[in-house]
Chains A and B, each alone.
Chain A
Amino acid sequence: MPNGLDLAWPNEGVTRVPYQLYTREDVYAEERARVFMGATWNYLCLEAELPKPGDWRSTFVGDVPVVVARDTDGSINAFENRCAHRGALICHKQSGNGARVSCVYHGWTYDLKGNLTAVTFQRGINGKGGMPSDFKLTDHKRRTLRIATHAGLIFGSFASTTPPLEKFLGPAIAARLTRVLPPNKTIEVLGYSSQILPSNWKLYAENVKDPYHASLLHLFFTTFRLNRLSAEGGIIIDDAGANHVSYSKAATDRVSADYDTADLRVKSDRFRLNDPSIIHGRDEFGDGITLQILALFPCFISQQIQNSLCVRQLVPRGLGETELLWTYYGFADDDAELRELRLKQANLVGPGGYISMEDGAVGGFVQRGITGAGRDTEVVEMGGREWRSQETRATESPLRGFWKTYREHMQL
């Protein structure tokens, strides 16, 4: 086994996923090295969150702490958030501004490129103590990330072998990202929230890649015809299988006999909203698409649900716990009505959202359910055994694309 893991992938390929991937510490450690610190582009933050030279933020690549900064010359840099001296976080706050950052432990100081610029008492005090005369600041530059941006999103990669971001995204996915983050708009962050998921990070990554569940688990959606699989929509997957977008147009929903015969817990039309304003959005992008969920391997999600716009970052917090960070945004030229829609429709998403709260729990149900599963596997065959774009959302095609990509990185 090239990766040293005693774990054989089932012969069926990506239609079978071993549950051990969610329960083994050695897999988690390999993922840090091969996926997050490997040849992947990891979302760091929005450019809008670093508006001024000297702005920096603490963020994560996988669970690895990273500082991302807009340098005094306007360029964007990122480096590991770990002091060269004794390993403490250099930046322990969420964000700040300044030409330098200093570790609080002993005051070692870095510029915004991750260069060590000063060691406190390097020459000692009154000629006594201090670092050895051959100590060189330049030997201790922080490990830096390559940076690439698209549509106001900042991505970083620890690996030198990562293909260019445009190639990684693929043209179809890149265009769908630009759709919800148009370059002629100024992005305004409207708020943050955080959800602690009681599951391995991949269970949420899978959930997002799984359009099949959306109208079955999230009955709020189904009940109000926001996103029934009978609405016009589809799946676009990039050529490599790593990234996907799922979209639908609520206005095109046709009555489908398949819904009436499926044993859904709630039948439509039984349930009316007293205040329907939260489900009546505005067609702000002019294409009738009311829902777009886009996921990039490994841990980035962009979401448009009606006029609620959001980016989500998955941060593993150990084998069985994951933090999901939500950053909600709008545009500087939003009129008052559109802004109000964004705020109201935020009720649909986030940790308390009508159509997303279940996602917080369902990964936990899997994590608990697979205790003792041994070598058992998931069955991922909805929509066929391939991973490719499809004009239906009754499919698990994007999930198979995720596992294909995962296997390549993990050499499994």
Chain B
Amino acid sequence: MLWVGEPRGEPYPKLDEGNSTLSRMDEIAIQFAVERLQARYVACIDDDRLEEWPAFFAERCRYQIISNENYSRKLPIAVFVATSQGMLKDRVAALREANIYEAQRYRHLVSSTLILENVGGVVRAQSNYHVVRIMQDGATALFSTGRYLDCINLTGATPVFEEKLVICDSRRIDTLLAIPL
């Protein structure tokens, strides 16, 4: 089997009561679907295909980049928040048309994806991320680390984020944050 070892400690993944009949194969399928979505998501950003980025989200969605400091103290201010796919499109349009920032790109590394909950194919998952920023002159530096807390709808033809919370480990942002995480 693909599954190595049994979950330890807390029952994992935590399955909703209504879905307690999910089989081990379903768990593998969900894990696979979520990880593949994460891979496609970060490839889209790292390949500078930002115009495709809003389509990873549901029409009504929540995308929020927030420091762990604010998140853990329940302070609501985000570095960036969008409550609709339209706001994500606006972000891309602003980055392309209006905002001035030095040419740069990211390399995302996403790992340790945990499926926290599954309610009828709407899955909550947590993943770690690590983003390296590469400036036009080649200067390469660790830009941000943190975790994604995602709510992903797997019931449609393509999985979409209903919610993506990007919780940055540090409140410090070097120079500026233009490209999404």
Distance in angstroms from B141 CB to nearest chain A CB is 11
- Knowing A274-B86, A274-B89, A358-B101, the reply to whether A191 touches B172 (Cβ < 8 A) is no
Q: Report B47-80 CB contacts with A as 1/0, cut-off 8 Å.
A: 0000000000000000001110110000111111
CB pair A274–B99 under 8 Å, yes or no, is no
Determine if A343 is an interface residue (Cβ-Cβ < 8 Å).
Answer: yes
Distance in angstroms from B60 CB to nearest chain A CB is 11
Determine if B100 is an interface residue (Cβ-Cβ < 8 Å).
Answer: yes
Task: Give the segment of A17-25, A280-288, A349-357, A394-402 that binds chain B.
Answer: A349-357
How far, in angstroms, from A194 to B173 measured CA to CA in the complex?
Answer: 6
CB pair B99–A219 under 8 Å, yes or no, is yes
Task: Write out the residue numbers on chain B whose beta carbons fall within 8 Å of the beta carbon of A347.
Answer: 78, 80-81
| Residue among A193, A196, A197, A358 with max Cβ neighbours from chain B (10 Å) | A193
Determine if A195 is an interface residue (Cβ-Cβ < 8 Å).
Answer: yes
CB pair B70–A192 under 8 Å, yes or no, is yes
Number of B residues, CB within 8 Å of A? 35
Residues 82-138 of B at the A interface (beta carbon under 8 Å) = 82-84, 86-87, 89-90, 93-94, 97-102
How far, in angstroms, from A198 to B141 measured CA to CA in the complex?
Answer: 14
Q: Report A253-285 CB contacts with B as 1/0, cut-off 8 Å.
A: 000000000000010001101110010000000
How far, in angstroms, from A191 to B82 measured CA to CA in the complex?
Answer: 17
Q: Report A222-256 CB contacts with B as 1/0, cut-off 8 Å.
A: 01000000000000000000000000000000000
Determine if A361 is an interface residue (Cβ-Cβ < 8 Å).
Answer: yes
Determine if B29 is an interface residue (Cβ-Cβ < 8 Å).
Answer: no
Task: Across the interface, name the chain B residue whose C-beta is closest to A327.
Answer: B77
Determine if B40 is an interface residue (Cβ-Cβ < 8 Å).
Answer: no
Task: Across the interface, name the chain B residue whose C-beta is closest to A219.
Answer: B98
CB pair B171–A193 under 8 Å, yes or no, is yes
Determine if A346 is an interface residue (Cβ-Cβ < 8 Å).
Answer: yes
Distance in angstroms from A346 CB to nearest chain B CB is 5
How far, in angstroms, from A271 to B94 measured CA to CA in the complex?
Answer: 9
CB pair B100–A361 under 8 Å, yes or no, is yes
Determine if A175 is an interface residue (Cβ-Cβ < 8 Å).
Answer: no
Candidates A352, A358, A364; contact of B173 at CB < 8 Å: A352
Distance in angstroms from A277 CB to nearest chain B CB is 8
CB pair B100–A219 under 8 Å, yes or no, is yes
Distance in angstroms from B5 CB to nearest chain A CB is 39
CB pair B175–A358 under 8 Å, yes or no, is no
Task: Write out the residue numbers on chain A whose beta carbons fall within 8 Å of the beta carbon of B66.
Answer: 191
Q: Report A191-208 CB contacts with B as 1/0, cut-off 8 Å.
A: 111111110000000000
CB pair B77–A223 under 8 Å, yes or no, is no
| Residue among B65, B84, B99 with max Cβ neighbours from chain A (10 Å) | B99
Q: Report A345-380 CB contacts with B as 1/0, cut-off 8 Å.
A: 011001110100110111010000000000000000
Determine if B2 is an interface residue (Cβ-Cβ < 8 Å).
Answer: no
Distance in angstroms from A391 CB to nearest chain B CB is 28
Task: Across the interface, name the chain A residue whose C-beta is closest to B170.
Answer: A194
Determine if A220 is an interface residue (Cβ-Cβ < 8 Å).
Answer: yes
Closest 5 CB pairs of A and B: A191-B77, A274-B86, A352-B177, A191-B75, A351-B173
Q: Given contacts A194-B172, A195-B173, A274-B84, could you give 6 more A-B pairs where the C-beta distance is less than 8 Å?
A: A195-B172, A223-B97, A274-B89, A343-B76, A343-B81, A358-B100
5 sample A-B contacts, Cβ–Cβ < 8 Å, listed by A number: A191-B77, A196-B174, A346-B81, A350-B79, A360-B176
